[in-house]
Structure 1
Amino acid sequence: MRMKIYSMKLFVFCAMSTAALTAPAAAQETTIFDGPFVGVQLGWQQDRRSATTSLVPPTTTRVTGDGLVYGGQLGYDANIGGAVLGVEGSIIGRTGSNGPAALDYETGRTINVTARAGLLVSPESLLYARGGYSNARFSLANPAGNSESRDGYTLGAGYERSLTDTMSARIEYAYSNHGSYSLPGMGGPVVINYRRHGVTAGFNLRF
């Protein structure tokens, strides 16, 4: 009888010890990059525009414009163990313009809808790549003209780290291509091409 009581006490003690030891491990396994999030971003952006004439031989003029980029994003991540898959929508604005005084383009808002995939290099750190649809608005400021929206694509890569259970910070590089179109010009049409590079830092609040 005493042996049975002793065995039961030993079993209860071992069970409680095992639970105490595994509880911290279970807490560490709590997924961080998982669920919906909303955030803000701020950084630098450079628009590159080229104009190629149809003359023989053709000539190409390239101009660049730097500016401050700012905006917000919302999305959803799914943590599937060692990897994270997600979707994100963002809207950003930019200061400055792009072009010489004779043909000055101002950059308006940009809307991006992208998917991203990343690998957890630690429980708190994520390396990722993203890609998807981008729509940018441009306004011809000099000479005065209408605004137009250009469809294109964006590709990027970044690093995100968890600060707390509900907040994370990231830094990201992105390249965007908004296609080309023709403008009438002396001697034939002029083909305008749009490219963009940007580096942003962001903070996300996670739910």
Structure 2
Amino acid sequence: MKRLAAVGLSAAVALAATASVHAADLPQPAETYTYDEPVPAERFDWSGFYFGGHLGWNWSDFGTSNGVTGSFTTRDNGVAGGVHAGYNYMITPEFLLGAEADFSLASIDKTRNVAGVSYKTSSDWNGTVRARAGWAFDRFLVFGTGGLAIADMDVAANGAKDSATRVGWTAGAGVEGAVTQNVTARLEYQYQDYGSETFSLGGQSYKTDLNNNQVRFGLSYKF
């Protein structure tokens, strides 16, 4: 009986081994691999309203002509700072159009003595309303800008003084980068031309024009 059981066990082992060899020879299903497609980073969206502040340096030239003094130029420079607000719209994923307005305070005050005449020129504030156009490289923007400019002009001579508000034009360019999804930083330059104004001071006529050069750094919050 024991011998019969041993023979049966041996036959079962041999059969199992044979089945394993045949199974190894059969075609095996191909291994499959799964992987997740990388999600492309979303481009920064420059569209929308924004508001911010700026601080920089202002160079002013007052060109004056008078029958007694002839023509001369008074130059001054100083800190200028203020606020700005605007709206951007992305025409394409790269091309931007927008509008912006700003207001700045400046400390421009200079006196020059010419031919015995003490002539003082000053300008305390200026503002602009401009169009903007730019090209976005994702979180980096290069832009140009231009539009209307407005500023005050104050003059004094011969014991008299006068003032005027002049409207002119401005043009400039700059670069801007996204610091966060809502905060951007910019560096820009503007040239502002306010034309000329004629002032009557102490019986003398003085024709004075004003132009500014401004370089300023700004921060904006995008809503």
Q: If the length of structure 2 is used for normalisation, what is the TM-score?
A: 0.74
Bigger CA drift: 169-178 or 80-89? 80-89
Secondary structure of residue in 2 paired with 1:165: coil
Alignment check: 8 A CA contact 1:106 1:141 kept: no
Alignment check: 8 A CA contact 1:134 1:153 kept: yes
Computing the radius of gyration from Cα coordinates, the structure with the larger value is 2
Cα distance change on mapping 1:147 and 1:182 into 2, 3 Å: closer
Secondary structure of residue in 1 paired with 2:180: coil
Map 1:74-89 onto structure 2 (within 5 A): 74-80=85-91, 81-89=93-101
- For residues 154 and 40 of structure 1, what CA distance do their matches in structure 2 show? 19
The CA deviation at 1:47 is 0.7
Cα distance change on mapping 1:83 and 1:163 into 2, 3 Å: same
Bigger CA drift: 186-195 or 100-109? 186-195
Could you list the runs of 5+ residues in structure 1 that have no partner in the other structure? 1-9
Q: Which residue of the other structure, out of 100, 113, 126, is the alignment partner of 2:129?
A: 113
Matched letter for residue 91 of structure 1:
F
Partner of 1:3: none
Cα distance change on mapping 1:37 and 1:144 into 2, 3 Å: farther
Secondary structure of residue in 2 paired with 1:28: coil
Is 2:144 the counterpart of 1:139?
Answer: no
Deviations 1:42-89 (A, max 9, x none): 00001101112358xx93201101010010001101122111111011
The CA deviation at 1:170 is 0.4
- For residues 207 and 162 of structure 2, what CA distance do their matches in structure 1 show? 18
- For residues 138 and 44 of structure 2, what CA distance do their matches in structure 1 show? 9
- For residues 72 and 85 of structure 2, what CA distance do their matches in structure 1 show? 38
Alignment check: 8 A CA contact 2:85 2:102 kept: yes
Map 1:28-43 onto structure 2 (within 5 A): 28-31=42-45, 33-43=46-56
Identity of aligned residues (%): 24
- For residues 72 and 187 of structure 1, what CA distance do their matches in structure 2 show? 40
Bigger CA drift: 130-139 or 36-45? 130-139
The CA deviation at 1:144 is 4.9
Cα distance change on mapping 1:184 and 1:64 into 2, 3 Å: same
Secondary structure of residue in 2 paired with 1:52: strand
Q: Which residue of the other structure, out of 115, 120, 140, is the alignment partner of 1:125?
A: 140
The CA deviation at 1:139 is 2.4
- For residues 134 and 157 of structure 1, what CA distance do their matches in structure 2 show? 15
Q: Which residue of the other structure, out of 49, 54, 61, is the alignment partner of 1:48?
A: 61
Could you list the runs of 5+ residues in structure 2 that have no partner in the other structure? 1-31
Q: If the length of structure 1 is used for normalisation, what is the TM-score?
A: 0.80
